[in-house]
Structure 1
Amino acid sequence: MTTNTFPRRALLALALLPAALAVRPVRAQSPAPVQLFKVVSTRDEVIVGVDAAQLGSGGGPAVERLAAQLAAKGQLTLWQYASHKDAGGALVQAPLKQIVVFRNDALRIEPYATPLAILPPK
């Protein structure tokens, strides 16, 4: 008498499947040294990077802290960011040049999300 082991193997595989698909905890990534924002004016849109020191400490979202700094100071010197390929050929967000954002020109500031790595200014 031949015993068909296929159903037994299938049942064993189904029993082990939840363990194989178990969600493993993911380590929290440290916050990026630079946060990106999109500054919208009547003429154009520009992506800028702001480090934690420029944002200052305090409560509230980073975009609100940046807007408060711009309102208080009247202008901010920030790094304009663009996507580039790094030395290894990977696409990254890198600083392009320093620009000045004026309070009167900025219509809107919003957080800018990117899946690319963000390089800090040198």
Structure 2
Amino acid sequence: MKTQALPRRTLIAFAMLVPAALAVRSVRAQAAASGVQLFKVVSARDEVIVGADAAMLGAGSGPAVERLATQLAAKGQLTLWQYASSKDAGGALVQAPLRQIVVFRNDALRIEPYATPLPIQPLK
């Protein structure tokens, strides 16, 4: 009995990982198509989803989240677009720019990549 349980668990785990891997790949493809990457900025007061394009992230070959954090540390504050889910003209759900906000170095406790299954609209 125990020898059959291990392969079954392995198959179930693999079956759960495949859709997750496909979702991550489609999110990366959507971000590449729009040129915008989404991040969650967490502060003591709240958390907000922001979008940044390659120009805002600065040059470099490191991970995008590290480049954004470096820009914030160097400048002290960044003006970014806040993103929220909304409906496009066709009625489909998308991640779209809502308004510009300023993120201050002193207020940001954590910046992390944000994955969404929704298409990401380009910056305004």
Say yes or no: TM over 0.5: yes
Q: Which residue of 2 aligns with 1:61?
A: 63
Which blocks of at least 5 consecutive residues in structure 1 are unaligned?
A: 1-27
Return the alpha-carbon distance in structure 2 between the equivalents of residues 91 and 43 of structure 1: 27
How far does the alpha carbon of each residue in 1:40-97 deviate from its partner, in whole angstroms, 9 at most, with x for none?
0000000000011111121210000000000000000000000001010100000000
Alignment TM-score, normalising by the size of structure 1? 0.75
Q: Which residue of 2 aligns with 1:88?
A: 90
Q: Which residue of 1 aligns with 2:38?
A: 36
Return the alpha-carbon distance in structure 2 between the equivalents of residues 92 and 102 of structure 1: 27
Q: Which residue of 2 aligns with 1:47?
A: 49
- Is residue 120 of structure 2 the alignment partner of residue 106 of structure 1? no
Shift in alpha-carbon separation, 1:29–1:42, aligned structure 2, 3 A: closer
SS of 1:118's equivalent? coil
Alignment TM-score, normalising by the size of structure 2? 0.73
SS of 1:64's equivalent? helix
Return the alpha-carbon distance in structure 2 between the equivalents of residues 58 and 52 of structure 1: 10
Instruction: Let me know the Cα RMSD of the aligned residues.
Output: 1.4
SS of 2:67's equivalent? helix
1 or 2, which has the higher helix percentage? 2
Which blocks of at least 5 consecutive residues in structure 2 are unaligned?
A: 1-27
CA apart distance, 1:29: 4.1
Structure number with larger C-alpha Rg: 1
How far does the alpha carbon of each residue in 1:92-111 deviate from its partner, in whole angstroms, 9 at most, with x for none?
00000000000000000000
Aligned length: 95
SS of 2:122's equivalent? coil
| Runs of 4+ residues over 2 Å off in structure 1 | none
